[in-house]
Amino acid sequence: MIKTVSINFRPDDESCLPLLRQLIDFLNVEGVTILLPQYDIIRNDECYALAVPHDQFVNSPELIIVIGGDGTVLRTSRLFCGTGTPIFGINRGRLGFLTEFNPDEYPHHLKRVLEGNFNSMERLVLEAILIRDGGEVMSLCFLNDAVIHKGSISRPIRLEMKIDGNFLSTYTGDGLIISTPTGSTAYSLSAGGPIITPTEAKIFLLNPICPHSLAMRPMIVPASSDFSVRIISDFSNLLLTIDGQEVITIGGNDEVCIRQSNRNIRLITHPEKNYYSILREKLGWG
């Protein structure tokens, strides 16, 4: 029986508060201890009495409930990455590939989850390490994708790619998407990449953005590989974007290394849906 739950939501999404209050009432009836983040949007609400310090919010729960869309799940996943705590997503977004439960149905399913009756899927997490002047500057985990792109520069950039230390290719284009199977239905899909079923898929996808060569195509790589991409162009204001939310300025001769993280994420799956039914629903397939 799950007794402690953290609830996360978008820090600026005041429209989620009615659902948050409803969820709190439901959990109170179930006798669950509720932990909320110390966000300003609830500071003047009575539910702020449930807000706790960051470390307690992240390290104490047996279950994480997310109210929002896929972006909120991505933010939450990076926050709780490596804790092993399962995530239950209530969808208030547009697509909701990662938030499988709708607001009108969650009480029935959540009650079963609190009783320990649920299935979860472990999703691959990758790590992006920024190398500058031979030293590691930072390391960031991502569930969807890491994107190297030219930002506001109108000219294409030149990139050099290596896999396990072996030279792969040098190409010119608008950038590169490094996508997990989970992220294959995000930016990579819009850029012409394939959809990868995330179930136990220990692979990732390299998808060049508008390459200036017809020979450059998306490539699937084993997650056990060490991949690196170096900026050859002498530009100083390129961007590395993590899960579409964290943006780091990079420049010429910087190198981004990608490797599999050992801090995976567990998402609770809908007992009445599967990945393919979700694809049909979200992508409007017949």
Please indicate, yes or no, whether residues 104 and 154 belong to a single structural domain of this protein: no
Please indicate, yes or no, whether residues 201 and 268 belong to a single structural domain of this protein: no
Q: What is the pLDDT of residue 26?
A: 97
Enter the tokens of residue 55.
């470390």
Over the stretch 11-69, which tens digit does the pLDDT of each residue have? 999 999 999 999 999 999 999 999 999 999 999 999 999 999 999 999 999 999 999 99
Answer whether 197's CB lies under 8 Å from 136's CB: no
Enter the tokens of residue 142.
């991502």
Q: Say how far apart CA 174 and CA 273 lie, in whole Å.
A: 37
Please indicate, yes or no, whether residues 166 and 272 belong to a single structural domain of this protein: no
Enter the tokens of residue 260.
């599999």
The closest of 103, 104, 111, 123 to 197, measured between CA atoms, is 123
Please indicate, yes or no, whether residues 9 and 107 belong to a single structural domain of this protein: yes
Please indicate, yes or no, whether residues 203 and 278 belong to a single structural domain of this protein: no
CA torsion, points 208, 212, 214, 217, in degrees to nearest 10?
Answer: -10
Please indicate, yes or no, whether residues 143 and 244 belong to a single structural domain of this protein: yes
Q: What is the pLDDT of residue 79?
A: 94
Q: Which domain holds residue 113?
A: 4-123+264-283
Q: Say how far apart CA 245 and CA 232 lie, in whole Å.
A: 25
Residue 256: is its pLDDT beyond 90?
Answer: yes
Answer whether 232's CB lies under 8 Å from 170's CB: yes
Q: What is the pLDDT of residue 201?
A: 74
Does the predicted TM-score (pTM) go above 0.85? Answer: yes
Please indicate, yes or no, whether residues 159 and 269 belong to a single structural domain of this protein: no
Answer whether 120's CB lies under 8 Å from 267's CB: yes
Band (pLDDT 50/70/90 cuts) for residue 153 is confident
Please indicate, yes or no, whether residues 138 and 252 belong to a single structural domain of this protein: yes
We report the CATH number of the domain holding residue 13 as: 3.40.50.10330
Please indicate, yes or no, whether residues 12 and 35 belong to a single structural domain of this protein: yes
Q: Is 49 exposed, middle or buried (0-12, 13-18, 19+ CB in 10 A)?
A: exposed
Determine the residue type at 254: D
Q: Which residues touch 257 (CB under 8 Å, ≥6 apart)? A: 128, 129, 131, 226, 227, 228
Q: What's the rounded mean pLDDT across residues 161-187?
A: 96
Please indicate, yes or no, whether residues 136 and 253 belong to a single structural domain of this protein: yes
Q: Say how far apart CA 206 and CA 180 lie, in whole Å.
A: 9
We report the CATH number of the domain holding residue 185 as: 2.60.200.30
**Planar angle of CA 107, 123, 245, nearest 5 degrees:** 85
Enter the tokens of residue 197.
């079923």
Over the stretch 175-232, which tens digit does the pLDDT of each residue have? 999 999 999 999 999 999 999 999 767 999 999 999 998 889 999 999 999 999 999 9
Please indicate, yes or no, whether residues 177 and 275 belong to a single structural domain of this protein: no
Q: Is 207 exposed, middle or buried (0-12, 13-18, 19+ CB in 10 A)?
A: buried
Over the stretch 69-94, which tens digit does the pLDDT of each residue have? 999 999 999 999 989 999 999 998 77
Block residue for tokens 């294409």: 156
Number of domains in the chain: 2
Over the stretch 87-121, which tens digit does the pLDDT of each residue have? 999 998 776 789 999 999 999 999 999 999 999 99
Which of 12, 13, 55, 70 is catalytic? The answer is 70
Q: Is 70 a catalytic residue?
A: yes
Please indicate, yes or no, whether residues 203 and 174 belong to a single structural domain of this protein: yes
Answer whether 204's CB lies under 8 Å from 219's CB: no
What is the residue-wise DSSP string for 112-142? HHHTT---EEEE--EEEEEEETTEEEEEEEE
Residue 152: is its pLDDT beyond 90?
Answer: no
